[in-house]
Structure 1
Amino acid sequence: MIRGLLCVALSLILVTRASTASAASIVTEWLDQALPYAQEVAWEPTVGSRFFAILQTAIYDTWTAYDPIAVGVVSGTALKGQGGAENEANKREAISHAAFTVLRTFAPQHRRALIERMEELGYDPNAHTPPAEIGRRAAEAVLADCRDDGASEASNFADTTGYQPRTSGPPDAWRPIESFGRRQLPTTPQWSRVMPFSLARADEFRPIPPPAPGSAEWSRQIDVLIKTSGALTDTEKAEAEYWGIFGMAPAPELIEMTKFVSDTNDLRLDDDVKL
């Protein structure tokens, strides 16, 4: 009986994996390729979000060349009608060249693996077909647009503000602590100066500042936090721990969730690009 149930369970797992694999579009395939690179070269939450924003914008702008309505984020309508016929094969090829171009730029140490991936997909990385040219042009335009966006990419995202954390004074700012025998360092303090890639301006949805240290509201919020933390149910604790499940920055976690939504809804290329 138990052996039979195990066989049924194993069969269901294999069927599920097979259906998921067959449902994947070229968009989610390139996300799978990009995720380990992001964890390696863009693990900080800020740099990681930029990494995926540039990759996905390049893919989106490439796709807009084949869509009668969509307008590229960077390219506008400049690529319209230049990528060959509007069909699945051309879109796949163009998107692959766009993703390849971005990832080769951000993770040059994986150039050989990226070339092999392109060849596995049936594409020549140096091809000059209309779809290949469109993908490269879209990616290069997005990369150029973000190159001087204030992130300090050329200096490996080093701080450009001269920021120094406080070591004393009111407890209303971040302070480094000793972690594993080393003093913590701030993550990209210059990010407030980075050109937004989806907001109209950097402070568009910025919340109001926290209450002043020692104020009545400051004390009230601390009291709420302590009482709430002390009364968490097992379910609520599990919900909190969920956010560390992938062990990486928020951007890769959101990409994993995006892939899940894509698989669950059996999305194809066009909808995956828009998602």
Structure 2
Amino acid sequence: MFIKRAGAVLLGAVTVTAVGTAAPAAATPSNDSVLIWYDATAAAITAGGATTQVTNGRTWAIGWLAAARAQKGSHANAYQRAALAGAVHQTLITLTPTQAAAADTVLAADLDTIPDGPAKDRGLAAGRDEAADLIAERAGDGLDPASVNTPYPVPAAAPGIWQPTPPAYAPATQYGNRVARPFALRGAGQYRPAPPPALGSARYQRDIAEVKAYGAANSTVRTQAQTDTATFWLGSSYVLYTPILRAAVEQSRGPVAERTRLVALFHVASVDTQIATSDAKYAYQLWRPVTAIRAGGDAEWLPLHATPAHPDYPSGHNTYSGSAEQILTELVGPKARGAYTIPSPTAPGVTRTYTDWKVPSRENVDARVWSGIHTRSADEAGIKLGKDVAANTIRNARALLAG
């Protein structure tokens, strides 16, 4: 009954619309440098980014943190816009080199709208210098794709211990994240969550029973609305949250520097969160529901959606969601300034409309259970871990922005 009530609440809080194609981003004013470079960063990473989500988050964090640092040099609008352009452009041509020509085009067009003068020249130079310095500072941080996916020595099969999952039985991913260098955390395990429920405990048994019933490929109790939610939130957290953050930036009434800091701190927090997530996943090595359910006697059980290749606890989708919710709540407020609409790569032609940052987190918690790929304990621990790491980012914002 709890699950059905939760689904009803969520459906009352979000508008779901089927459309012919995913809605594009709203037209960007020619003098809104923040949205211009936001869209340029997203486009460069989509077209020429890394194969690993955290590496792409690192590109965002470097470019926008460098811009925020450079903007301290002057409050003049021309300076701050030029500093943003210089920092993000320098980052994109360095870290997404195949997209350099496109970045050059954006730079030329944006600079044409900034009044000529010393402020523009100094801002552009400062942005480039800060980006170059931060790229050098982050060299060897362990967030390149090869380091992120360092091979994981799978332990011997035992109750509760992660094993490769059907149907692909693919090698584990993101094992190397746990030893990467964070931006603001003292260490990857600084906010490691408490252990998952013990095997055989009442909470563990409820968790597994819920996934078995509601997350099965052939579930007879999961509603169509629950299936739709699971499918909508199945895709990459980075892809799903890029339009959410964009909506917050677009709706903001703040100056260029304030909006730049929002983007920078959002992605610093997301990178640190993903490092903390892998630390916890590989510290606890908890098996996935499909492994547990099959070991419990239902040898043919399969989830609605294929299980990602890493341990269950905590849920990475939910750590990302918790981090995003916390940053947006602290820097923007608990509510959006207007409704915002996002598409999903795994639900083509469908959009969802929200008015706050909390409902996406709540949907993510349910979605991973209804997909059959996480326990609810893993989802809830993920939300808390993401919020803890993001709060740490905010507490360290002054030092991060000072460089």
Question: What is the TM-score of this pair, normalised by structure 2?
Answer: 0.49
Residue aligning to 1:239:
229
Secondary structure of 2:28's aligned partner: helix
Equivalent residue in structure 2 for 1:65, among 70, 73, 91:
73
Matched residue type, 2:229: E
Q: Partners of 1:136 and 1:112 in 2: how far apart?
A: 17
C-alpha distance in 2, partners of 1:150/1:100? Answer: 23
> What's 1:8 paired with?
none
Aligned equivalent of 1:56, options 61, 64, 70: 64
Q: How far off is 1:174 after superposition?
A: 4.4
Pair 99,269 (structure 1): closer, same or farther in 2 beyond 3 Å: same
Percent sequence identity over aligned pairs: 20
Map of 1:143 onto structure 2: 135
Partner of 1:210: 196
For 2:209, the equivalent position in structure 1 comes to: 223
Of structures 1 and 2, the larger Rg is shown by 1
Q: Deviation string for 1:178-198 (max 9, x for gaps)?
A: 54xxx6343331110111124
* Partner residue, 2:164: 175
Report what 1:121 is aligned to.
Answer: 110
Paired AA for residue 208 in structure 2: I
Q: Which runs of 5+ in 2 are unaligned?
A: 1-22, 113-117, 263-403
Task: For 1:16-165, list aligned pairs within 5 A.
Answer: 17=26, 21-22=28-29, 25-39=32-46, 40-66=48-74, 86-122=75-111, 129-151=121-143, 153=144, 156-158=145-147, 162-165=151-154
Q: 1:160 to 1:94 in 2, by over 3 A?
A: same
- CA RMSD for the aligned pairs? 3.2
Aligned-partner Cα distance in 2 for 1:261–1:159: 30
In structure 1, C-alpha distance between the alignment counterparts of 2:51 and 2:100, rounded to whole Å: 19
Return the letter of the residue paired with 2:139: R
Moved segments of 4+, more than 6 Å: none
Distance in 2 between the 1:252 and 1:268 partners?
26
Q: Is 2:266 aligned against 1:259?
A: no
Aligned CA distance change for structure 1 residues 21 and 187 (closer, same or farther; 3 Å) = same
Distance 1:24 1:240 in 2: 39
State the one-letter code of the partner of 1:46. V
TM-score, length-scaled by structure 1: 0.69
The count of residues paired between Structure 1 and Structure 2 equals 228
Preserved CA contact (<8 Å) 1:172 1:213: no
Distance in 2 of aligned mates of 1:264 and 1:42: 29
Change (3 A) 1:211 1:107: same
CA–CA distance in structure 1, aligned partners of residues 254 and 51 of structure 2? 28
Separation in structure 1 between the aligned mates of residue 230 and residue 223 of structure 2, nearest angstrom: 11
Q: Does 1:199 align with 2:206?
A: no
